[in-house]
């Protein structure tokens, strides 16, 4: 068994661009994923600048700048890379690194762009839970390729303590998005998240749960069977190594990944001050469409949704169907939602005078065109002009002595 440093030195000495990722690179990123909490701007920049192998070597040797060393702190002496990688393998997971082909570089590029806006001085930077920093590496469990599954993907997020209404809508959205070939990405939580995952699975479509703990852990435990099914047909994804606990601050950090990995985020139910709102704000900052399903204004679980829709800064789009979601995130021309169907009426094409003559026509006893003209407030000539069209449309009829409304048409299939 090689030590971490041996592997790293070997990777540092290896020629570049020879295809497969050197095991030392993967081990360096595995070490970083445990040593530093994700979302740390300065560490990401340090690794971006000198590469993961050199960064870990210098951190371990104590030759990294003090500001960077303090980010790792007490964890610098630890090395759990081999147990972590072995534990991942044991549960069918792998560590996907930016050097891999499978890395979802296209989607995550938005984070690289966003992190460039962070100031150089640390105290001016965003809080770590809000900073839009690309991940160091992603622990991925499941058979599918991460880059392929996220290419046409939508985040569906919402309240844990959801209502039956919200779960119904999330399940329908998940199902219909799955049927249309879109991957549903969510957080694997109770409530809306779980309903969206289950809807997608019911459509036999892959779905991705982005977790705030290790991919070998079931949190919440009640969703254990769901995670098992997702790992079979979709993907469980986490920035934290196997075994890591779902600490509270990690959920906020995780939310930026749900927003970043997808083409847009749909919020189904969200109370005021909710994680789903946070995810929506991340998506907006990343330039991704924010879509919101409204609900009854009498429901506390829709307060956050309606706040998002009222916030001009967010520019959220109200959506009611999967077709409207796909229209918002899809390619123009490919994915237009059909307009809401409106029932037609034979009155639709009528001119103003014709509508007035129709309204003036009595139900039972036929009247003369002169009387229709007085009731409708127009010339007799106008009445005589529109009556043939009204008769053709079977809206009025001639009784032999005058004009009256025609009886309503019989429904198709009714007995004569």
Contacts to a copy of itself by CB under 8 A: 35-37, 70-75, 78, 127-129, 165, 168-169, 247-250, 272-273, 293-298, 302-303, 306-307, 309-310, 317-321, 324, 340-343, 347, 351-352, 355-356, 359-360, 370, 373-374, 377-380, 382
Shortest Å distance, C-beta 52 to a copy of itself = 17
What is the Rg, in whole angstroms, of the alpha carbon atoms belonging to the chain? 31
- Residue written as tokens 């043939």? 388
Residue 322 to residue 112: CA distance in whole angstroms: 30
Lookup: tokens for 168: 């119904």
Residue 80 to residue 142: CA distance in whole angstroms: 22
Concatenated DSSP letters of 290-334 = EEE----TT-GGGHHHHHHHH-TTTTPEE--SHHHHHHHHS-TTT
Which is nearer to a copy of itself, 145 or 180 (by Cβ)?
A: 180
Quickly list H helices, 334-368: 352-360
Shortest Å distance, C-beta 200 to a copy of itself = 19
Shortest Å distance, C-beta 6 to a copy of itself = 24
Which is nearer to a copy of itself, 310 or 410 (by Cβ)?
A: 310
Which is nearer to a copy of itself, 193 or 307 (by Cβ)?
A: 307
Are the CB atoms for 362 and 404 separated by under 8 Å?
yes
The dihedral of CA 170, 108, 283, 326: what is its sign?
negative
Residue 9 to residue 369: CA distance in whole angstroms: 101
Are the CB atoms for 118 and 126 separated by under 8 Å?
yes
Torsion angle of C-alpha atoms 99, 118, 157, 106, degrees rounded to 10: -30
Residues 6 or more apart from 148 whose CB is under 8 A from it?
Answer: none
Shortest Å distance, C-beta 235 to a copy of itself = 26
Which is nearer to a copy of itself, 11 or 278 (by Cβ)?
A: 278
Shortest Å distance, C-beta 15 to a copy of itself = 34
Which is nearer to a copy of itself, 75 or 229 (by Cβ)?
A: 75
State the pairing for strand pair 265-267/153-157: parallel
Shortest Å distance, C-beta 141 to a copy of itself = 23
Shortest Å distance, C-beta 130 to a copy of itself = 9
Cα→Cα distances 192→270, 399, 415, Å: 9, 62, 49
State the pairing for strand pair 403-405/396-398: antiparallel
Which is nearer to a copy of itself, 113 or 272 (by Cβ)?
A: 272
The dihedral of CA 122, 259, 113, 311: what is its sign?
negative
Shortest Å distance, C-beta 385 to a copy of itself = 12
The dihedral of CA 180, 184, 189, 191: what is its sign?
negative
Shortest Å distance, C-beta 245 to a copy of itself = 8
Which is nearer to a copy of itself, 78 or 148 (by Cβ)?
A: 78
Are the CB atoms for 270 and 305 separated by under 8 Å?
yes
Which is nearer to a copy of itself, 224 or 296 (by Cβ)?
A: 296
**DSSP-assigned beta bridge partners for residue 292:** 267, 318
Shortest Å distance, C-beta 20 to a copy of itself = 31
Which is nearer to a copy of itself, 145 or 371 (by Cβ)?
A: 371
Shortest Å distance, C-beta 393 to a copy of itself = 15
Residue 18 to residue 311: CA distance in whole angstroms: 50
Which is nearer to a copy of itself, 2 or 368 (by Cβ)?
A: 368
3-state secondary structure (DSSP) of residue 238: strand
Which is nearer to a copy of itself, 152 or 356 (by Cβ)?
A: 356
């Amino acid at each position: 068994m090689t030590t971490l440093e041996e592997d790293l030195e070997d990777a540092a000495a290896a020629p570049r661009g020879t295809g497969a990722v050197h095991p030392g690179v993967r081990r360096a990123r595995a070490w970083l994923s445990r040593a530093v909490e994700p979302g740390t701007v300065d560490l990401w920049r340090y690794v971006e600048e000198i590469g993961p192998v050199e960064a870990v070597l210098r951190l371990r040797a104590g030759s990294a700048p003090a500001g960077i060393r303090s980010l790792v702190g007490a964890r610098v002496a630890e090395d759990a890379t081999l147990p972590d990688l072995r534990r991942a393998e044991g549960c069918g997971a792998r560590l996907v690194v930016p050097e891999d082909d499978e890395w979802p570089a296209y989607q995550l590029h938005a984070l690289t762009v966003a992190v460039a806006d962070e100031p150089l001085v640390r105290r001016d930077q965003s809080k770590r839970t809000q900073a839009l920093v690309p991940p160091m590496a992603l622990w991925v469990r499941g058979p599918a390729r991460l880059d392929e599954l996220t290419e046409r993907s939508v985040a569906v997020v919402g309240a844990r303590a959801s209502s039956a209404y919200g779960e119904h809508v999330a399940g329908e959205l998940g199902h219909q998005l799955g049927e249309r070939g879109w991957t549903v990405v969510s957080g694997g939580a109770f409530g809306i998240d779980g309903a969206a995952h289950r809807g997608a699975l019911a459509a036999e479509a892959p779905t991705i749960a982005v977790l705030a703990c290790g991919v070998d852990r079931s949190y919440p435990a009640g969703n254990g069977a769901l995670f098992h099914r997702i790992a079979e047909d979709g993907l469980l994804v986490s920035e934290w190594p196997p075994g890591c606990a779902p600490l509270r601050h990690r959920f906020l950090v995780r939310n930026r990944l749900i927003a970043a990995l997808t083409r847009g985020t749909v919020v189904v139910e969200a109370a005021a001050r909710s994680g789903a709102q946070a995810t929506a704000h991340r998506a907006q900052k990343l330039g991704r469409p924010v879509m919101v399903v409204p609900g009854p204004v009498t429901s506390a679980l829709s307060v956050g949704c309606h706040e998002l829709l009222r916030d001009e800064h967010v520019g959220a789009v109200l959506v009611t169907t999967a077709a409207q979601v796909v229209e918002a995130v899809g390619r123009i021309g490919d994915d237009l939602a059909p307009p809401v169907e409106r029932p037609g009426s034979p009155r639709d094409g009528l001119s103003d005078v014709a509508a007035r003559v129709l309204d003036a026509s009595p139900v039972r006893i036929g009247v003369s065109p002169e009387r229709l003209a007085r009731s409708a407030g127009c010339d007799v000539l106008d009445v005589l002009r529109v009556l043939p069209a009204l008769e053709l449309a079977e809206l009025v009829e001639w009784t032999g002595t005058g004009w009256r409304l025609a009886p309503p048409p019989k429904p198709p299939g009714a007995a004569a």
